Amino acid sequence: MKPRETFEDDNIYILVEKIKNGDREAFITVTRIYQKKVFLLAFSFFRNREDAMDIVQETFLRFYEKVNMFRRGKNFQNWLLQIAKNLCVDYYRKNYKRNSDLQREKNVKELCQSSYSQKELNSSLDIKQIFSKCIDGLSEKQRMVFLMKHYNQLEYKEIAQILNIALGTAKSLHFKALQNLKVLMSPYMGRQT
């Protein structure tokens, strides 16, 4: 497995200490290092650029507010992504929940039967849209784990830390997410555009 880019050494602690003292340059450096990771998480969650940008801005704003709560020994990236994840969930509940409540709460079977009927199958939906809808059909935690694993390429250990769950739970949620996606996608398999 190729080593991923991280900044988890003394440098990040030094930068954080500087930010605590109001160092703007240090803040810009930290933002530069982690902005794409936060964006990736938010974009995969909403699949909407504007919302993802809002989350990035809000995450670094929140980071600055809470910087004094960060303690040496913690994994900075996971801590920051935890802030981003919480913001995503809040933002989603506030702005998206109402529109797609029905779809989200339905179980996999119902979704297969109702949401993706033959009518839709024959419509102009391409595989990206279908897959996007299928991701929305997952439960909040399964969706989060799947997105973090697939698009952010985080390890189970990191996902577990960010979501504050056990390692085994993270693994199991990921497997279930794939299983459910398989069921949700089954009507469209072999119909790739």
Partner 1 sequence: MKHCKERKELAAFLYGELKDDERKRLESHLEVCPQCRKEIEELKQIVSESDSLKSDIKKALASVDWEMLPSKISENVFKKEIPLSRGSRTGKFWGLLFQPRFRPVYTALFLGILLGSLATFVVFRNSGFNGTTEGRFFVSGDFLERLELEMARRETLDYLEKSQYLLLDFVQSSPEKSAEFWQSNFASIRARDLLAKKKYIDLQLDRFQMAKAKKICDQIELLFFELAQITKELPVEEVKKIQNLIEERQILLKINLVKKELQDNEV
* Residues forming the site for partner 1 (CB under 8 A): 1, 20, 24, 27-29, 31-32, 35-36, 39-40, 43-44, 47, 49, 52-53, 56-57, 60-61, 64-69, 127-128, 131-132, 146, 149-151, 155-156, 171-172, 174-175, 178, 181-182, 185, 189, 192
Taking the complex as a whole, the smallest distance from the CB of residue 134 to partner 1 amounts, in Å, to 9
Taking the complex as a whole, the smallest distance from the CB of residue 29 to partner 1 amounts, in Å, to 8
What are 52's two structure tokens? 């993802």
Q: Where are the alpha helices (DSSP H) in the chain?
A: 10-20, 24-46, 49-66, 76-95, 97-105, 108-110, 118-122, 127-136, 140-150, 156-163, 167-185
β-pair partners for 72: 74
Taking the complex as a whole, the smallest distance from the CB of residue 120 to partner 1 amounts, in Å, to 17
Q: Which is nearer to partner 1, 51 or 92 (CB)?
A: 51
Phi/psi for 124 (5° steps) reads: -85, 15
Question: CB–CB of 162/59 below 8 Å?
Answer: no
Q: Which is nearer to partner 1, 14 or 53 (CB)?
A: 53
Taking the complex as a whole, the smallest distance from the CB of residue 140 to partner 1 amounts, in Å, to 18
Q: Roughly what angle, to the nearest 10 degrees, separates helices 76-95 and 49-66?
A: 130
Q: Which is nearer to partner 1, 102 or 132 (CB)?
A: 132
What amino acid occupies position 161?
Answer: Q
Q: Which is nearer to partner 1, 27 or 116 (CB)?
A: 27
